[in-house]
Amino acid sequence: MAARILPLSKRGFNFETFMWAFTRFTVFAMYGLILAGILGALTLSAQTGANFGDILYWAYFPNMAENPLGQVWMTILSKLMVIAFLLSAAGHGVHGVLEIFDDYVTNESSRRWARNIVITYAIVASMIAIYVILSA
Protein backbone atom coordinates (compact mmCIF):
# COMPACT_ATOMS: atom_id res chain seq x y z
CA MET A 1 0.00 0.00 0.00
CA ALA A 2 1.51 3.32 -1.04
CA ALA A 3 1.63 6.22 1.37
CA ARG A 4 -0.73 9.06 0.62
CA ILE A 5 1.14 12.30 0.12
CA LEU A 6 -0.76 15.57 0.33
CA PRO A 7 1.03 18.62 -1.05
CA LEU A 8 1.60 21.48 1.35
CA SER A 9 -0.45 23.85 -0.79
CA LYS A 10 -3.58 21.70 -0.30
CA ARG A 11 -3.17 21.14 3.42
CA GLY A 12 -4.05 24.63 4.54
CA PHE A 13 -3.02 26.24 7.76
CA ASN A 14 -5.52 25.96 10.59
CA PHE A 15 -5.38 25.69 14.37
CA GLU A 16 -4.84 21.93 14.36
CA THR A 17 -1.92 22.18 11.94
CA PHE A 18 -0.36 24.93 14.02
CA MET A 19 -0.74 22.94 17.24
CA TRP A 20 0.64 19.78 15.60
CA ALA A 21 3.79 21.65 14.56
CA PHE A 22 3.98 23.49 17.88
CA THR A 23 3.88 20.21 19.80
CA ARG A 24 6.79 18.82 17.80
CA PHE A 25 8.87 21.97 18.32
CA THR A 26 8.14 22.13 22.05
CA VAL A 27 9.38 18.57 22.50
CA PHE A 28 12.68 19.47 20.85
CA ALA A 29 12.86 22.65 22.93
CA MET A 30 12.28 20.75 26.18
CA TYR A 31 14.95 18.16 25.39
CA GLY A 32 17.36 20.90 24.35
CA LEU A 33 16.76 22.85 27.55
CA ILE A 34 17.16 19.72 29.67
CA LEU A 35 20.47 18.95 27.97
CA ALA A 36 21.64 22.57 28.34
CA GLY A 37 20.66 22.52 32.02
CA ILE A 38 22.56 19.31 32.70
CA LEU A 39 25.62 20.63 30.86
CA GLY A 40 25.37 23.90 32.77
CA ALA A 41 25.08 22.04 36.07
CA LEU A 42 28.10 19.91 35.24
CA THR A 43 30.07 23.01 34.26
CA LEU A 44 29.08 24.70 37.50
CA SER A 45 30.00 21.64 39.51
CA ALA A 46 33.46 21.65 37.91
CA GLN A 47 33.90 25.32 38.82
CA THR A 48 32.65 25.08 42.41
CA GLY A 49 33.93 21.63 43.34
CA ALA A 50 30.44 20.21 43.81
CA ASN A 51 29.50 16.76 42.63
CA PHE A 52 26.51 15.80 40.51
CA GLY A 53 24.58 14.70 43.60
CA ASP A 54 24.92 18.18 45.11
CA ILE A 55 23.61 19.72 41.89
CA LEU A 56 20.60 17.39 41.84
CA TYR A 57 19.97 17.95 45.55
CA TRP A 58 19.86 21.69 45.00
CA ALA A 59 17.66 21.28 41.92
CA TYR A 60 14.98 19.50 43.95
CA PHE A 61 15.49 21.25 47.30
CA PRO A 62 16.72 24.79 46.60
CA ASN A 63 17.47 26.31 49.99
CA MET A 64 19.59 29.39 49.35
CA ALA A 65 20.68 29.78 53.00
CA GLU A 66 22.16 26.28 53.33
CA ASN A 67 23.44 25.70 49.83
CA PRO A 68 26.12 28.02 48.41
CA LEU A 69 25.43 26.64 44.93
CA GLY A 70 22.05 28.36 45.06
CA GLN A 71 23.70 31.75 45.15
CA VAL A 72 25.78 30.96 42.08
CA TRP A 73 23.32 28.93 40.04
CA MET A 74 20.20 31.13 40.11
CA THR A 75 21.44 33.73 37.72
CA ILE A 76 19.50 35.49 35.01
CA LEU A 77 20.52 32.79 32.50
CA SER A 78 19.18 29.97 34.64
CA LYS A 79 15.95 31.87 35.32
CA LEU A 80 15.49 32.41 31.60
CA MET A 81 16.12 28.72 30.95
CA VAL A 82 13.54 27.76 33.56
CA ILE A 83 11.04 30.19 32.03
CA ALA A 84 11.71 28.80 28.53
CA PHE A 85 11.19 25.27 29.80
CA LEU A 86 8.02 26.31 31.61
CA LEU A 87 6.57 27.89 28.47
CA SER A 88 7.53 24.89 26.32
CA ALA A 89 5.99 22.43 28.76
CA ALA A 90 2.86 24.56 29.19
CA GLY A 91 2.35 24.81 25.44
CA HIS A 92 2.91 21.09 25.04
CA GLY A 93 0.47 20.33 27.84
CA VAL A 94 -2.16 22.71 26.47
CA HIS A 95 -2.13 20.83 23.19
CA GLY A 96 -2.66 17.54 25.02
CA VAL A 97 -5.61 18.91 26.98
CA LEU A 98 -7.12 20.37 23.82
CA GLU A 99 -6.80 17.04 22.04
CA ILE A 100 -8.71 15.38 24.87
CA PHE A 101 -11.43 18.04 24.69
CA ASP A 102 -11.65 17.58 20.92
CA ASP A 103 -12.17 13.85 21.42
CA TYR A 104 -15.09 14.27 23.82
CA VAL A 105 -16.68 17.61 22.94
CA THR A 106 -18.51 17.47 19.62
CA ASN A 107 -20.26 20.84 19.50
CA GLU A 108 -18.16 23.45 17.66
CA SER A 109 -19.05 26.34 19.97
CA SER A 110 -18.29 24.19 23.02
CA ARG A 111 -14.91 23.32 21.53
CA ARG A 112 -14.18 26.99 20.95
CA TRP A 113 -15.12 27.82 24.56
CA ALA A 114 -13.00 24.93 25.87
CA ARG A 115 -10.05 26.08 23.79
CA ASN A 116 -10.39 29.66 24.97
CA ILE A 117 -10.69 28.64 28.62
CA VAL A 118 -7.73 26.24 28.52
CA ILE A 119 -5.47 28.65 26.64
CA THR A 120 -6.43 31.56 28.91
CA TYR A 121 -5.77 29.45 32.00
CA ALA A 122 -2.37 28.38 30.63
CA ILE A 123 -1.40 31.97 29.87
CA VAL A 124 -2.46 33.24 33.31
CA ALA A 125 -0.74 30.34 35.11
CA SER A 126 2.42 30.87 33.04
CA MET A 127 2.47 34.60 33.84
CA ILE A 128 2.12 33.83 37.57
CA ALA A 129 4.91 31.24 37.34
CA ILE A 130 7.17 33.68 35.46
CA TYR A 131 6.57 36.30 38.15
CA VAL A 132 7.43 33.80 40.89
CA ILE A 133 10.59 32.69 39.06
CA LEU A 134 11.80 36.24 38.45
CA SER A 135 11.04 37.42 41.98
CA ALA A 136 12.75 34.47 43.70
For residue 6, tell me if it sits in a domain. no
| Residue 1 in this model has a pLDDT that exceeds 70 | no
pLDDT top residue among 34 and 117? 117
Asked if the structure places residue 4 within a domain, the reply is no
Do 55 and 45 touch, CB atoms closer than 8 A?
A: yes
Number of helices and strands (H, E) in the chain? Answer: 6, 0
Residue 129 counted as domain residue: yes
Confidence of residue 99 (pLDDT cuts 50, 70, 90): confident
8 occurs within a structural domain: no
94 phi and psi, to 5 degrees?
Answer: -60, -40
Is 9 contained in some domain? no
Residue from 92, 78, 76, 72 nearest 28 by CA: 92
Domain annotation covers residue 10: no
Residue 127 pLDDT greater than 90, yes or no: yes
Residue 5 lies in a domain: no
How many domains does the structure of the chain reveal? 1
User: What letter represents residue 40's amino acid?
Assistant: G
Residue 71 has pLDDT above 60, yes or no: no
> Does 26 map to a domain?
yes
pLDDT above 90 covers a percentage of the chain that reads: 10
Q: What is the pTM of this model?
A: 0.63
Structural domain range at position 96? 17-135
CATH code of residue 79: 1.20.1300.10
